[in-house]
């Protein structure tokens, strides 16, 4: 499992202190699927499955032989000795994953027949231990791979567009019929392949060494950049080194551009004083730049990711000047430059986390800007979704007015939190939890997973062995898709994940189904 967090936005395996409350207050502080599945054979062996979800998928879906309401199931292979994702084993079909919620009286046979897929394919797609045990409210994935559809009574271009993830106009054009034409049962329609939007994808990695190399190998197919967290800046301009050469080499092997991350992080928190020191002491700043340049050159980094947080509000212009000097020093050398910024909803938003992050200046100077759109629900605060869509949308509404959309990377979490109830301010902090662990918890405690339509995030309650009530907010295929839809709606450059290391296979498959990932290496 992931460790307990105290950082305002990140599930990182160190104890980070938080100095301010997060959320919507002015001092908010530290805060699908798979591509369409391609079944080449009716009874595939482990080497014939199109995807490698590895062994954790079995735990995701199966716990003590039971299936519970609210689960979303995706195709997977319960084997762990398969190769990493590649273009050859990520299949792209004619439409998105279809998620079906089980209703009263439904069974696997009726559901499979309804969508024109075989029971075997549906069972394999969901790793159902007992096809006869379906529960009302349970969501199962329908592995639709067809490039054609036989019209049934009640079908319309609109309903088919919803099923296959294409527009009614695209369906009409592909079949040379008017978009308003009624459909005749028995007619075979061609389903056009859905276009995938090209984007860039960044992900942060804290785990170094062999484990970090394996993570990089496993998900490198989906990434444009990998940001290695982090080189901590000291007041005199020194950098605290990290053991990153192994993961840098693997990133390059996977055609992922490694980015060096520098932070004003020290002794468990972000230091306003360290930031001020390197902004104002020219000797320290020159020393810092020399150290950065040496590291970039000798380690093989392709760019610099600046993550300075909790800067004194009055140091806003000092930070802007610092960034201008970074650009003057490193852009002529061909390095990519980006910053990570707090999720602001206006240019006048107050609070130490926000005020020194000048969106217009960052947008003008940087190659791209990472919006840290997560941690509304955080380990030290009340139970909330980590990245509720309405709040993320508010940040994007402002950001896109002052930063070019093609420079914005929207932050996405790969984690959730497990709170003990009742929540008491200053009491026990929530522990961070991966989406896979959340599902295992729900299965273990027979908890029904619910979905909040406003925040567009899943949650559930359970009682532990001590009789304490818990609430878990996490991410799933639906919440990931809701965020991908924002990327398309705002025409953003891409997404940035915090943080690699927890299991969330649906995210990666959905990502590949929605987008084409640009590679620059």
3-state SS class at 122 = helix
Residues 88 and 153 both lie in one domain: yes
In a domain, 436, yes or no: no
In a domain, 292, yes or no: yes
Residues 162 and 205 both lie in one domain: no
In a domain, 374, yes or no: yes
Residues 140 and 229 both lie in one domain: no
Residues 168 and 298 both lie in one domain: no
- The CATH number of whichever domain residue 86 belongs to comes to 3.10.350.10
Residues 127 and 61 both lie in one domain: yes
Specify the pLDDT at position 518.
Answer: 98
The total number of structural domains in the chain stands at: 2
Listed in order, strand segments (DSSP E) in 220-326 are 225-233, 239-240, 257-263, 265-266, 269-270, 303-307
Domain boundary, last residue among 156, 190, 224: 190
**pLDDT digits over 363-389, tens only?**
999 999 999 999 999 999 999 999 999
Q: What are phi and psi of 429, to 5 degrees?
A: -85, 150
Residues 6+ apart with CB under 8 A from 62: 127, 129, 443
Cis preceding-peptide flag for 230 (omega within 30 of 0): yes
In a domain, 41, yes or no: no
Residues 110 and 62 both lie in one domain: yes
- Concatenating the DSSP letter of every residue in 301-367 gives --EEEEE--S--GGGHHHHHHHHHHHHHHHGGGT-EEEEEE---SSTT--STTTTT--HHHHHHHSS
Which has more pLDDT, 112 or 34?
112
Which residue in 368, 305, 360, 367 sits closest to 331, CA to CA?
367
Q: What does the H/E/C string look like for 53-70?
A: CCCHHHHHHCECCECCCC
Domain boundary, last residue among 155, 190, 225: 190
**pLDDT digits over 408-462, tens only?**
999 999 999 999 999 999 999 999 999 878 877 887 888 888 899 999 999 999 9
Instruction: Give the pLDDT band (50/70/90) at residue 331.
Output: very high
Specify the pLDDT at position 482.
Answer: 92
Residues 6+ apart with CB under 8 A from 60: 76, 436, 439, 440, 503, 505
pLDDT > 90? residue 26:
no
- What percentage of the chain has pLDDT greater than the value 90? 59
Residues 239 and 308 both lie in one domain: yes
Specify the pLDDT at position 303.
Answer: 99
User: Taking the model in full, what pTM does it have?
Assistant: 0.79
In a domain, 462, yes or no: no
Which residue has tokens 């990245």?
387
Range of the domain at 138: 46-190
In a domain, 323, yes or no: yes
pLDDT > 60? residue 235:
yes
Query: Which tokens sit at 12?
Result: 């990182």
Residues 281 and 395 both lie in one domain: yes
- The CATH number of whichever domain residue 347 belongs to comes to 3.20.20.80
Residues 172 and 255 both lie in one domain: no
In a domain, 434, yes or no: no
In angstroms, rounded to a whole number, what is the distance separating the alpha carbons of residues 171 and 462?
45
Query: Which tokens sit at 347?
Result: 């240019």
Specify the pLDDT at position 23.
Answer: 34
Domain boundary, last residue among 190, 216, 245: 190
Q: Is 206 an active-site residue? A: no
Residues 105 and 248 both lie in one domain: no
Residues 373 and 317 both lie in one domain: yes
In a domain, 257, yes or no: yes
3-state helix, strand, coil in the chain (%, to 5): 35, 20, 50
Look at strands 416-420 and 469-473 and give their pairing.
antiparallel
Q: Do residues 459 and 439 touch, judged by C-beta distance below 8 A?
A: no
In angstroms, rounded to a whole number, what is the distance separating the alpha carbons of residues 29 and 14?
18
Q: Do residues 113 and 61 touch, judged by C-beta distance below 8 A?
A: no
Exposed/middle/buried for residue 448 (C-beta within 10 Å: 0-12, 13-18, 19+): middle
Instruction: Give the pLDDT band (50/70/90) at residue 136.
Output: low
In angstroms, rounded to a whole number, what is the distance separating the alpha carbons of residues 449 and 69?
6
In angstroms, rounded to a whole number, what is the distance separating the alpha carbons of residues 278 and 238?
10
In the set 21, 200, 250, 309, the catalytic residue is 309
In angstroms, rounded to a whole number, what is the distance separating the alpha carbons of residues 53 and 58?
9
Residues 120 and 215 both lie in one domain: no
């Amino acid at each position: 499992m992931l460790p307990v967090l105290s950082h305002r936005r990140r599930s990182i395996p160190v104890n980070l202190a938080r100095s301010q409350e997060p959320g919507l207050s002015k001092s908010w502080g530290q805060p699908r699927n798979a591509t369409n599945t391609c079944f080449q054979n009716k009874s595939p062996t482990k080497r014939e499955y199109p995807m490698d979800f590895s062994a954790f998928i079995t735990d995701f879906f199966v716990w003590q032989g039971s299936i519970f309401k609210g689960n979303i199931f995706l195709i997977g292979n319960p084997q762990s000795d398969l190769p990493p994702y590649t273009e050859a084993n990520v299949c792209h079909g004619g439409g998105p994953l279809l998620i079906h919620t089980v209703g009263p009286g439904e069974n696997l046979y009726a559901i499979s027949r309804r969508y024109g897929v075989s029971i075997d394919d549906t069972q394999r797609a969901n790793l159902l231990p007992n096809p006869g045990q379906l529960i009302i409210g349970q969501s199962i994935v329908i592995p639709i791979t067809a490039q054609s559809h036989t019209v049934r009574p009640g079908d319309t271009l609109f309903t088919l567009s919803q099923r296959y993830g294409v527009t009614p106009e695209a369906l009409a054009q592909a079949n040379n019929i008017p978009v308003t034409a009624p459909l005749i049962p028995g007619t075979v329609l061609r389903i056009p392949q859905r276009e995938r939007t090209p984007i860039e994808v960044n992900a942060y990695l804290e785990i170094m060494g062999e484990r970090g190399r394996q993570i990089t190998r496993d998900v490198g197919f989906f990434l444009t950049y990998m940001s290695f967290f982090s080189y901590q800046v000291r007041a005199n301009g020194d950098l605290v080194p990290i053991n990153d050469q192994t993961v840098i080499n693997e990133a390059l092997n996977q055609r992922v551009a490694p980015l060096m991350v520098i932070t004003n992080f020290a002794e468990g928190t972000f230091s306003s004083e360290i930031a001020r020191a390197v902004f104002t002491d020219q000797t320290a700043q020159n020393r810092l730049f020399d150290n950065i340049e040496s590291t970039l050159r000798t380690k093989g980094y392709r760019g610099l990711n600046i993550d300075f947080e909790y800067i004194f509000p009055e140091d806003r212009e000092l930070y802007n000047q610092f960034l201008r000097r970074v650009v003057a020093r490193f852009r002529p050398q061909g390095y990519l430059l980006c910053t990570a910024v707090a999720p602001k909803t206006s240019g006048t938003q107050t609070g130490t986390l926000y005020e020194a992050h000048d969106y217009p200046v960052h947008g003008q100077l940087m190659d791209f800007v990472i919006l840290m759109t997560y941690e509304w629900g955080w380990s030290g605060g009340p139970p909330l979704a980590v990245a509720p869509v309405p709040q993320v949308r508010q940040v994007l509404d402002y950001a896109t007015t002052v930063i070019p959309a093609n420079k914005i990377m929207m932050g996405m979490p790969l984690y959730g939190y497990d709170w003990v109830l009742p929540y008491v301010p200053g009491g026990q902090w929530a522990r961070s939890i991966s989406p896979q662990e959340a599902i295992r918890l729900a299965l273990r405690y027979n908890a029904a997973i619910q979905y909040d339509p406003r925040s567009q995030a899943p949650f559930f309650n359970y009682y532990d062995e001590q009789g304490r009530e818990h609430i878990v907010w996490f991410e799933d295929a639906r919440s990931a898709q809701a965020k991908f839809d924002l990327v398309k709606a705002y025409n953003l450059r891409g997404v940035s994940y915090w943080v690699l290391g927890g299991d969330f296979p649906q995210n990666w498959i959905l990502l590949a189904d929605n987008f084409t990932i640009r590679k620059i290496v």
